[in-house]
Amino acid sequence: MAASPTEAAVPPAHTIVLVGHGMVGQRFLEELAERKVTERARVVVLCEEPRPAYDRVHLTSYFTESRTPEELSLVEDGFMARHGIELHVGDPATAVDRAARTVTSRSGRTVRYDTLVLATGSYPFVPPVPGKDAEGCFVYRTIEDLRAIEEYAARSACGAVVGGGLLGLEAAGALRGLGLETHVVEFAPRLMPVQVDDGGGQALRRAVEGLGVRVHTGVGTQEVTTGPDGRVTGMALSDGSALAADLVVFSAGVRPRDDLARDCGLPVGQRGGIVVDASCRTEDPAVFAIGECAQAVDGRVYGLVAPGNEMAATAAKAIAGETGSFTGADTSTKLKLLGVDVASFGDAHGAAEGALDVVYADSRSGVYRKLVIGADGTLLGGVLVGDCESYGVLRPLTGTVPPVAPGDLVLPAGAGAPAALGPAALPDDAVVCSCHNVTKGAIRAAVTEHSCTNVPEVKKCTRAGTGCGSCVKVLGQLVDAELEASGVAVDKGLCGCFAQTRAELYEIVLALRVTSYRDLLDRHGREGARGGEGCEVCKPAVASILASLAPAIGASVHVLDGEQAALQDTNDHFLANMQKNGSYSVVPRIPGGEITPEKLIVLGEVARDFGLYTKITGGQRIDMFGARVEQLPQIWTRLVDAGFESGHAYGKALRTVKSCVGSTWCRYGVQDSVRMAIRLELRYRGLRSPHKLKSAVSGCARECAEAQSKDFGVIATANGWNLYVGGNGGATPRHADLLAKDLSDAELVRLIDRFLMYYIRTADRLERTSVWLERVSGGLDHVRDVVVHDSLGICAELEELMAAHVAGYRDEWADTLDDPERLARFVSFVNAPGTPDPTVRFVEERGQIRPEPVLMPVPQVVDASLSEAVTA
């Protein structure tokens, strides 16, 4: 057996030494553990601080929310022991000998390494002004710094912060929270000069000063003055003024801690930072650098956690033998400073040529919102102060032409910004049912004028939904909305058998481990339905729930086992799609559209031998039409023997993950889209869901795989992958929304796992992700909070459910071929198993078969004036 990438890259007895255990260092360890590198390598961590990694981003909550160091910790209990990681706290590395490949710590410990990872972070920059080391001067970086400030503040009355950037305002908030009169001194002409523009800076200053903090901009600190006892008494400023203060906090930026690299001869940038390549490897192949101590290939040192995490994942991939690169990162930020919401994203300062600003400002309420729009209407970036409610929508829209006017987008929440479009927002003359040209107004009239109270009655009255059926979901939403507007209570139950919604039934099945439809109906069905046979609505819906949860609850995992078989519709019942003349299609899985010549020949031979019509689909598969039911097992046998499996074209499940050729062949490709498409399709194959699922992976922004029209689509970036969700074509096309960007492979898969399981958990019967995303309260922002930020605390459960599905997957074709009882159903006539159905007939067209046309009776029209029949 060939070695896995991890095994090949990390041989036994390999030692990895991590210097630094901050947020990025811990993320690196987690990435190693996820790739099982820790199972084969010795991992040693040298940590300068007296405690393991903690959440430095929320450091101020130590004051504002009285959070303990233990509550800020990022290390899960037992993590180090579980993965065999040796952690040495309070013992920083002091020297690196690259020739001997050893690291020496302050305690004198010497560790030999095969791979060295520097994650030493940064140190606070303290301007070289007289008095900077006086008693009462502090920096704002660690828990120990905060404890020292807290102790000193107890005997102080006034504090000053040098620096009005992100950390400076955080420090000012801490001093204010400790009860000190607080000043902020910023050399730039505005607060947060890197993130916000002049207008945003003015709005921020008004808000901060409104909270009682004195702001001094456009001035620098010349000297920290002290009294006879050597303690701080104030500051002399560059404009000649003086500021009295008992305590001074320096928060004027940070500098990369690259001294270990400098001392051992590794190249560093002109302004600091250990020089690394796209894999975060230094000039020495055995040494990596990640986080704030590293200078990326774009020449920047990133002082944010998100880029650091990406670098941690990139280095872990390289060590594990995987591919990945870090060439830059999004520096968008959203935070609350001194109680004021502030956000910036994209080209916030309008540096692009021809860029125009669209601004909304309300000085009274402290709201400032600016969007930067390109000449072609593209949203380039923006600044939000005082109201960041739409940040989660605007930031993902960056780089696209928004669907509404910029003037609408810039309006704050509650000030007239357009609501999410949905069926209720359609005008009355909008055609809802294109099969029968039924408008929304006609559907409303069926409820208000013709007293229809449910979908079946509206169908009968208007014929809407009786054609292809693609409008039935919208039809139901319109009927419910009209009934509710009329004051009529709407039954939200799945059908006449269950008073619960599909999502509620899902929770019942999961929580109570219900493994059969009969048990669910008898225990939780409506009273009149218990003991009955169910209906055509709830049977397949419950079958889908049971199939989705089968590995987790111990239910049958095959759709043709026992009671499960009786719940399926025709397509699932025969594991193939029935066509218009009663024949069936056979669609084997071709992950990513990649197929060998040998397998291609097998498909051709099967199609030839069974006389099937063949067609290459838009989903990069080959469909074979015209199989009789009794031929299906014979066809599957040939295909399974050749290495094919069911493509689930017949089920409410994952269909395909389409892909372009990506970086392997295309000169524009930035990631291996085929590899990722195959990985995703093999992971989610057979996943039963409320509706069919389609996906695609594009290798670059040219988007040749059309990923943004899929239920979940992936587009490669130089930094990883962008994940889009909720798109679809069909009767009501919808462009997918950006859920998260620049993800590593592991992050991408983790988010898709969560998104799909949350959709399966909460969507209605036959509800596509596009409709679900617009229906669910809070829309995309809510879904992002749940699956990205774990706002409901269910992500671990969602991941476990997906892991159970992946572990329990079995090919339905192969399993059917191995079971005589299942095979017995594949006959046209039970009393004559070998007899083909004579009604299934074909004619030839363009060298292939097609269903024989059905001759319909010629309709007759009676002309009363002639009293004779004439042919219409």
Model confidence band, residue 169 (pLDDT cutoffs 50, 70, 90): confident
Selected from 1.10.3720.10, 3.30.70.1520, 1.10.10.1100, 3.40.50.300, the CATH number assigned to the domain covering 423-485 reads 1.10.10.1100
Write down the pLDDT at residue 343.
Answer: 82
Look over the chain and give the mean of its residue pLDDT values, rounded to a whole number. Answer: 85
According to CATH, what is the number of the domain 652-810? 3.30.413.10
Q: What is the mean pLDDT of residues 74-97?
A: 94
Write down the pLDDT at residue 229.
Answer: 93
What's the DSSP call for residue 295? E
Q: Show Cβ contacts of residue 497 under 8 Å, excluding neighbours closer than 6 positions.
A: 521, 525, 526, 529, 532, 534, 535, 537, 538
Give the C-alpha distances (Å, rounded to integers) separating 15 from 5, 34, 43, 387: 17, 17, 6, 49
Distance CA 775, CA 755 (A): 15
Write down the pLDDT at residue 419.
Answer: 42
Is the CA virtual torsion 446, 450, 455, 458 positive or negative?
negative
Give the C-alpha distances (Å, rounded to integers) separating 235 from 188, 191, 231: 17, 19, 12
Higher pLDDT, 486 or 152: 152
Q: Could you say which architecture CATH assigns to the domain 126-252?
A: 3-Layer(bba) Sandwich (3.50)
Is 0.85 surpassed by the pTM of this model? no
Write down the pLDDT at residue 830.
Answer: 56
Beta pairing partners, 343: 334, 384
Distance CA 586, CA 800 (A): 32
Identical fold between 423-485 and 652-810? no
Query: Regarding the domain delimited by 5-122+256-320, which CATH topology (the fold level of the hierarchy) does it fall under?
Result: FAD/NAD(P)-binding domain (3.50.50)
Distance CA 636, CA 588 (A): 9
Write down the pLDDT at residue 4.
Answer: 41
Model confidence band, residue 315 (pLDDT cutoffs 50, 70, 90): very high
Distance CA 841, CA 27 (A): 62
Write down the pLDDT at residue 3.
Answer: 39
- Statement: 569-646+811-828 belongs to CATH 3.60.20.10: no
Instruction: Give tens-digit pLDDT for 586-610.
Output: 999 999 999 999 999 999 999 999 9
Instruction: Give tens-digit pLDDT for 5-28.
Output: 444 456 667 999 999 999 999 999
Whether the CB-CB separation of 379 and 396 falls below 8 Å is answered with no
Lowest mean pLDDT among 408-422, 631-645, 711-725: 408-422
Give the C-alpha distances (Å, rounded to integers) separating 642 from 432, 596, 647, 813: 45, 11, 14, 13
Does residue 388 have a pLDDT over 90?
no
Write down the pLDDT at residue 843.
Answer: 87
Instruction: Give tens-digit pLDDT for 183-227.
Output: 999 999 988 888 888 888 888 888 888 778 899 999 999 999 999
Model confidence band, residue 166 (pLDDT cutoffs 50, 70, 90): confident
Does residue 124 have a pLDDT over 60?
yes
Whether the CB-CB separation of 221 and 162 falls below 8 Å is answered with yes
Beta pairing partners, 266: none
Distance CA 322, CA 35 (A): 10
Q: What is the mean pLDDT of residues 276-282?
A: 95
Q: What is the mean pLDDT of residues 151-172?
A: 90
**In Å, how far from its chain's centre is CA 449?**
45
Long-range contacts of 532-540 (CB under 8 A, 24+ apart): 532/497, 534/497, 535/495, 535/496, 535/497, 536/569, 537/494, 537/495, 537/497, 537/765, 538/494, 538/495, 538/497, 538/498, 539/566, 539/567, 540/567, 540/568, 540/569, 540/572, 540/652
Task: Give 3-state DSSP helix, strand, coil % of the chain, rounded to 5.
Answer: 35, 20, 45
Q: Which class for 784: exposed (0-12), middle (13-18), buried (19 or more C-beta within 10 A)?
A: buried
Q: Show Cβ contacts of residue 398 under 8 Å, excluding neighbours closer than 6 positions.
A: 332, 345, 346, 379, 380, 381
Write down the pLDDT at residue 632.
Answer: 94
Lowest mean pLDDT among 13-17, 161-165, 493-497, 529-533: 529-533
Give the C-alpha distances (Å, rounded to integers) separating 443 from 161, 465, 506, 764: 64, 11, 31, 21
Lowest mean pLDDT among 194-208, 409-423, 748-762: 409-423
Token output for 767: 């509800």
Does residue 564 have a pLDDT over 80?
no
Give the C-alpha distances (Å, rounded to integers) separating 111 from 45, 99, 101, 107, 647: 10, 13, 8, 12, 52
| The length of the chain, given as a count of residues | 872
Q: Could you say which architecture CATH assigns to the domain 333-409?
A: 2-Layer Sandwich (3.30)
Q: What is the mean pLDDT of residues 455-468?
A: 75
Model confidence band, residue 462 (pLDDT cutoffs 50, 70, 90): confident
Kindly list the domain boundaries of the chain, sorted by start residue: 5-122+256-320, 126-252, 333-409, 423-485, 502-568, 569-646+811-828, 652-810
Model confidence band, residue 429 (pLDDT cutoffs 50, 70, 90): low
| CA contacts within 13 A on the Cβ side of 690 | 25
